[in-house]
Chains A and B, each alone.
Chain A
């Protein structure tokens, strides 16, 4: 790989051991990807924040790395395994909370924004079209590439951290325009409600794997995009899609090699695959990815005049920034369950207190059985809200 004189200096260790190691990692990964050079980035999103996923091994690494590492671009962090303020009420054991706090401290010492969320684009880490960035959270990667038009590969935790420290990432994969062309045309033949986008993502992700699809016949809101991309990345390995409504032209794409269509049946079979519980949920968890202001407002207005039914716990997962912007909604939702900040149902140690989780997110539905040993009651959002209210 070509390195500038300045990059060579970092690699030789002239700017300290941590920067040397970060540069060494970027160069090695760039070589694996046949990158010709590094490219400056304007933003990073770092995964590997929950004690549940990275464990003592990750904690040890971060504590050592944090001794002299400093990030040099705007960097946000993925959700952690608990709400920093309400972890006791949520049933998180002390032996989990203590190392989790240490992980956060380490990231904080490096200068990373500790608003722990998978939706950095709602809290000011929102790159513009054409920006090169280094993001690791899979749902946010899809959103950045597909909705914001920024350029990122799906990074791992360490590579996104190294990129944040150096301010650059290997110029390869989706950073190059020629790799951002769709290979598979996906025709959606039915009219979708907001609840359907997560199922569409699940169905498409399963069919296309890591190819870029051109999805036609949909007109998603930003929240619909959020649900669609998260599910697609979870059921397949998608990092990007392109979408057009039924009037949009697709004439500019001459890279299509395969065509598939999605009908009612495809969504039904995704729903059936996700719904694995035959008993009642003991936790209802909404907000995967984290909720937007719009979603908070919608749910609060539905629940406002209803009464809680305390049959089971409920979590509304949201970033702390969005929660602060919605005090009235937080108050209303709080009557029905926990407004859980900093965390979510996928990275918290749910298995400590729950067996069956009700959710409306296909991404959560994919990960809950393996990561949290949960059975999943997959339902539309309104139905979940009815289960906790009357």
Chain B
């Protein structure tokens, strides 16, 4: 897979990644002489990032962290590159002072420790040769305070028997909203163009073996429209979002639904 994100600083790196799901402070959180994480609250405590690509959501803590990144570089214990989801001044400053290639806007959820990757900070490109990216849409239909979930049949290719939203692959050349309308028509029989579909913004990423699902979420209220499912599903249910835990779902469905509902309740919602 190849992702176009944003580069900070210069250079390329080719190596294995070490991934933390938590924010990192370089001051106090790492041992500069060893290139190792020592923060006891970190999920990669004790692990070395020297000579590897280091991925974490974003930096935190003291601004002196920028200087620690420089010190890592001088000691030869720096990571080959840094991948962040959200960039802030401390890590960005450190990456530039130290000359460590950095990418921001990287979906950390899509990465797995040991993934091989090529980082290009000048072009803002992340390439993972062993991983396949599959862009899909998930449409969450609502009716009053209920959301629609559907049980995937034995005839679909993936996640058989799991509960999901209306979903499917985005075809080459197709816009995500076009895929959302097509899948809704195919899987529920409902034509939603003109319904006021809410786009969920940033895609949600789910890692599944050597596949990364890039889920483009949409939300649409279908009111009293009649649903008729096709061969892809065995049954459907209207449930409260809080009951989702009782169902075996496709990866990250909870997160997709939660972010969509939050986006809808937020003021200034964007309607396609």
Residue of A nearest to B63 (CB): A156
Q: Is the CB of B70 within 8 A of A159?
A: no
Main secondary structure of the interface of A (DSSP, over half): helix
Q: In the complex the two chains form, what is the Cα distance from A21 to B89 in whole Å?
A: 15
B88 within 8 A of A: yes
Q: Is B92 in the interface zone, CB < 8 Å from A?
A: yes
Q: What separation, in Å, do the CA atoms of A57 and B97 have in the docked complex? A: 12
A61 to B26, CA, bound (A): 15
Is A14 part of the binding interface, using a Cβ–Cβ cutoff of 8 Å? no
Given A28-B8, A55-B64, A57-B64, the answer on whether A156 and B71 have CB atoms closer than 8 Å is no
- Among A55, A56, A156, which residue has its beta carbon within 8 angstroms of that of B93? A156
- Chain B min CB distance to A306 (Å): 42
Interface string of B77-115 (1 = CB under 8 A from A): 000000000011110110011010000000000000000
Cβ A60 vs Cβ B71 within 8 A: yes
Give every chain B residue within 8 A of A125 (Cβ-Cβ).
none
Tell me, yes or no, whether A40 is within 8 Å of chain B by CB: no
B67 close to A54 (CB less than 8 A): yes
Say yes or no: A158 contacts B68, CB within 8 Å: no
- Given the known inter-chain contacts A32-B87, A55-B64, please indicate yes or no for A159 contacting B71, CB distance below 8 A: no
Contact between A58 and B67, CB atoms less than 8 A apart: yes
Residues of A within 8 A of B92 (CB): 28-29, 32
Judge whether A25 is part of the interface by a CB distance below 8 angstroms: yes
Residue A48, interface by CB 8 Å: yes
Residues of the B chain whose Cβ atoms lie less than 8 Å from the Cβ of A48: 63-64, 67
Please report the C-alpha to C-alpha distance between residue A61 and residue B89 in the assembled complex, in whole angstroms: 17
The reply on A276 being an interface residue by CB < 8 A is no
Bound CA span A189–B93, Å: 43
Q: What string of 1s and 0s marks CB contacts (under 8 Å) between A149-183 and chain B?
A: 00000001111000000000000000000000000
Does A219 reach chain B (CB closer than 8 Å)?
A: no
CB distance from A222 to the nearest CB of B (A): 29
What number of B residues sit within 8 Å (CB to CB) of A?
22
Question: Quick one: CB contact mask for A1-44 with B, threshold 8 Å, 1 for yes?
Answer: 00000000000000000000100110011011000000000000
Q: Check if B67 sits within 8 Å of A32, measured CB to CB.
A: no
B6 nearest CB across to chain A (Å):
8
- B4 proximal to A (CB < 8 A): no
Q: Which residue of A lies closest to B86 (CB)?
A: A32
With A and B bound together, what is the CA distance between A54 and B9 in angstroms?
A: 23
Residues of A within 8 A of B20 (CB): none
A127 to chain B, nearest CB (A): 23
B71 and A61 within 8 A (CB): yes
**A53 contacts the other chain (CB 8 A):** yes
Partner of B67 from A24, A29, A61, A159 at Cβ < 8 Å: A61
Q: B interface vs A, CB < 8 Å? A: 6, 8-10, 32, 63-64, 66-68, 70-71, 74, 87-90, 92-93, 96-97, 99
- The 4 A-B pairs at the shortest CB distance, nearest first, are namely A57-B71, A57-B67, A58-B67, A61-B70
In addition to A57-B32, A60-B70, 20 A-B residue pairs with Cβ atoms within 8 Å of each other are: A21-B97, A24-B9, A25-B93, A25-B96, A25-B97, A32-B89, A32-B92, A48-B64, A55-B64, A55-B67, A56-B71, A57-B71, A60-B67, A60-B74, A61-B70, A61-B71, A156-B63, A156-B66, A158-B67, A158-B97
